[in-house]
Amino acid sequence: MSLSFLNGLRVLESSAFVAAPLAGLTLSQFGAEVIRIDMIGGGMDYGRLPLAPSGRSLYWTGLNKGKRSVAVNIRRPEGRELVRSLATAPGENGGVLLTNIATHWLSHESLIQLRSDLVSCLIQGNADGSTALDYTVNCTTGYPAITGGGSLEAPVNHVAPAWDMACAYQAAFAILAAVTRRRQTGEGAELKLALADVAFTALSHLGITTEAEVLGAERPSLGNYLYGAFGRDFGTADAKRVMVAAISISQWRSLVAACEVGQQIAALEAALRRDFANEDERYEAREDIARVFEPWFARHSLAEIAPVFEQHGVCWGQYRTVRDLVANDPRVSLANPVFERMDTPGVGPHLVAGSPVRVMGEARSSGIAAPLLGQHTDEVLSEVLGLGPAEIGRLHDKSIIAGPDRDPTVYVRKPENVS
Amino acid sequence: MSLSFLNGLRVLESSAFVAAPLAGLTLSQFGAEVIRIDMIGGGMDYGRLPLAPSGRSLYWTGLNKGKRSVAVNIRRPEGRELVRSLATAPGENGGVLLTNIATHWLSHESLIQLRSDLVSCLIQGNADGSTALDYTVNCTTGYPAITGGGSLEAPVNHVAPAWDMACAYQAAFAILAAVTRRRQTGEGAELKLALADVAFTALSHLGITTEAEVLGAERPSLGNYLYGAFGRDFGTADAKRVMVAAISISQWRSLVAACEVGQQIAALEAALRRDFANEDERYEAREDIARVFEPWFARHSLAEIAPVFEQHGVCWGQYRTVRDLVANDPRVSLANPVFERMDTPGVGPHLVAGSPVRVMGEARSSGIAAPLLGQHTDEVLSEVLGLGPAEIGRLHDKSIIAGPDRDPTVYVRKPENVS
């Protein structure tokens, strides 16, 4: 599903893994036309797990829906020249390159010889060009040493690719900011965004580096308690688990009222000489507070808790597995307009999300599935570079370019198709 | 530090906690002028931990640097009208509102009576208007059930506010996209972005909801192993800990070469009849592979490992605490141009980050510290609304507005200042 805010904008994407494809997807979901440059046979993430029985990667098809694919042999100079021409083709809406693959022939310095107002965004691991992934950045942020009751000796990695996601959305924003300026001034921009910098700047914005530097303090390892107020997970009578959070005073009052522990909490405040209207006093007494709430959760089933919490406006959530989420949470269903059903070749019909941004009163166009490799080679070369059928045929014959018949997941599926 | 891409754009921010302030900070770091509407005495996040001895929140000052602050009594109709006027003041660069506080008098529907081309972005917990925080969204994503070797019965919350960060950067992108369209067509936009939708759409983009729906599979709980290839943490001879990742074939070959385990790995491949050139076969044999590497890490100190890994281009990182990071990692220092030193009143001089985006060949302006509450009340009302000194004086006298002398952290510091 895409919105129409960036209609006309054309972005060339040469990418792998999460951050760069997700940045391209974000632009695409707001209406930009994103053209992937793919290696014939697929790049290093084309077969990344999990795979559908057809061999198609659910990861790759998720990150690349709505894009077009041009399959090019980039090991050959003629293939590289085609890609360079696509990145720098004229027109005020062209000349935008998104990549996480640093290579001389696709460098900003080299491409501005062909188009001086190019906007390029290179996503890096580290800013010095060395490699880094979400995992190898995350370990350095200090978070694994305080996750899950862990320590520096027994750290706990997160599983959601938090830094990749943050990097992707920052990159989409930065590209759009540079395009905005180019429309005003005619000036291009060479943007670089290192995954490590995304993480370290966030630590600064959240006050965490300052806490260490100015106060000499480390954030404690709190298990599932939240920092600075009251919040924790609790088990229910029917062996479900819920997370509750009471950061604001109204969240706290709702929780106390819903669980009918007002008298006990008042007694605890008197005993400890604390005022739990202050979030920091709730935080300091978190273990005592949790002991007051535990029996209430243990006595009630989730089916009993949910309506009480809704009624009181408690800030809470249920721990789920992904299958449970997809099967039972209406927020991940067609009842939520950010989702739609899509039939991805090699995967079949399934629920997919568009942009999480809702624009009131505006419809989205139907989504388009992730391409097969080279599915749009001929049409893009014709449309963007004006190549004719004879020239396109010659490039196929020389194996400089390829169409979707060279997609390896098509080969995998062939026996089925024939039978 | 800010770049100059969005110079002139004026954004009114009425916000608390992480997602909305971080969205405003992101716009500000690209040159937008962000004006906070603050409650006199501070809103619900103004005293959020951690605090400097002065009482200033390192969290709030981190998220609100570079912004201006107007302190207004929004419980009074006259205060509300002032805020409405600021949000809808004329000029092609004005008329942009960022908020996570849903209230009728600041609703899009109400404000378009004053300015029909308003761009507003409301960040929500859930799209139905119910409350949700990073913690209460995260529990539902399935991630805590597979983090740190956890399970649905013993889930592990992440600590980095991953969804808040993703939401913030998405919001900055969406606002800019809407401003871009407004410049082209004159049309405003009412944007809504729910934290829950940010998380659930990401699960779809990453293929995780599809894995559950189409394959009926749950992602396994792998502790610190990465999914789909080879990567894990290892302890060194000097009791440090490092994370290594080998997703691409070149990352795998680098790791094997650096640790000099080529013969053992070949023997393991022969024994298991596997080919570790395939990432999914590395993944399936991850525990056997880890046992081959463990002794090498246990025999070498971090000081021995680091240069070998650099030389071979291994993808790796060191587990650190934040104090260690700030003290010893040059990426979080003035050696990294995304950082600068800043003197925040009530905090003192400290290292702060600007945008993680580097624009080659372009300098950034020096950063400006987070404001005191109401530090810019008079100048903003004069500049944006054209109010004169008499009118501004009257509003002060009636306690409709306030200046920085009413900031509670100024009161806290007064004895010090006097002595």
What is the token pair recorded at A171?
């990159």
Look up A164 and say whether it is catalytic.
yes
Question: Distance, in angstroms, between A300 CA and closest chain B CA?
Answer: 16
Burial of B27 per CB tally in 10 Å (0-12, 13-18, 19+): buried
Nearest CA in chain A to B125: A315
Tell me the C-alpha distance between B358 and A120, whole Å: 11
Residues of chain A numbered 308-327 and touching chain B (CB < 8 Å): 310, 313, 315-326
B408 reaches A (C-beta below 8 A)? no
Measured in angstroms, the CA of B407 and the nearest CA of chain A are apart by: 18
Q: Which two tokens stand for residue B25?
A: 């900070």
* Token pair belonging to B15: 């916000």
Name the closest residue on chain A to residue B200, using Cα atoms: A332
Give kind and range of the element (H or E) at residue A96: strand A96-99
ipTM rounded to 2 decimals:
0.97
CA distances from A88 to A85, A188, A384, A391, B330 (A): 5, 12, 10, 20, 36
Kindly tell me the sign of the dihedral angle through the C-alpha atoms of B10, B15, B17, B23.
Answer: negative
Residues in chain A within 8 Å Cβ distance of B159: 143, 146-147, 158, 219, 227
Catalytic residue among A38, A134, A164, A407: A164
Q: Is residue A346 pLDDT above 70, yes or no?
A: yes
- Helices within A104-261 (DSSP H only): 108-111, 134-138, 162-185, 195-205, 208-214, 249-258
B193, B326, B341, B355: which to substitute to probe chain A, counting the most A Cβ within 10 Å?
A: B326
Sign of the C-alpha dihedral, residues B101, B106, B112, B116? negative
**Which pLDDT does position A289 carry in this prediction?**
98
Q: Write out residues 46-105 of A within 8 Å (CB-CB) of B.
A: 47-50, 52, 57-63
The answer to whether A159 touches B221, Cβ cutoff 8 Å, is no
Whole-number Å distance between alpha carbons of B270 and B282: 13
The model's pLDDT over B269-288, given as tens digits with 9 standing for 90+, comes to 999 999 999 999 999 999 99
Mutation site for A-interface testing, chosen from B5, B208, B318 by largest number of A Cβ within 10 Å: B5
Judge: A49–B283 Cβ closer than 8 Å, yes or no: yes
Is the Cβ of B116 closer than 8 Å to some Cβ of chain A?
no
Residue tagged 């001089």 (tokens):
B349
**pLDDT surpassing 90 at residue B353:** yes
pLDDT tens digits along B193-234: 999 999 999 999 999 999 999 999 999 999 999 999 999 999
Residues 6+ apart with CB under 8 A from B315: A125, A131, A132, A133, A136, B244, B245, B246, B247, B251, B254, B255
Side chain identity at residue B296, one-letter code: W
CA distance A69 to A35: 6
In chain A, residues with a C-beta closer than 8 Å to the C-beta of B125 are 315
pLDDT tens digit string along A209-261?
A: 999 999 999 999 999 999 999 999 999 999 999 999 999 999 999 999 999 99
List the alpha helices (DSSP H) in B313-388: 322-328, 377-385
Instruction: Determine the pLDDT at residue A411.
Output: 64
Task: Report the C-alpha gap between A144 and B226 in whole angstroms.
Answer: 14
- Using a CB–CB cutoff of 8 Å, tell me whether A347 touches chain B: yes
**Residue B237 token pair:** 């001879």
Phi, psi of B355 (to 5 degrees): -65, 145
> With 90 as the cut, is the pLDDT of residue B59 above it?
yes
Rounded to 5°, angle at Cα A362 from A357 and A368: 70
- Cβ contact, residue pair B359, A189, below 8 Å: yes
Distance CA A38, CA A377 (A): 10
Cα separation, A122 vs A171, in Å, equals 9
Is the CB of residue A252 less than 8 Å away from at least one CB of chain B? no
Indicate whether this model's pTM tops 0.95: yes
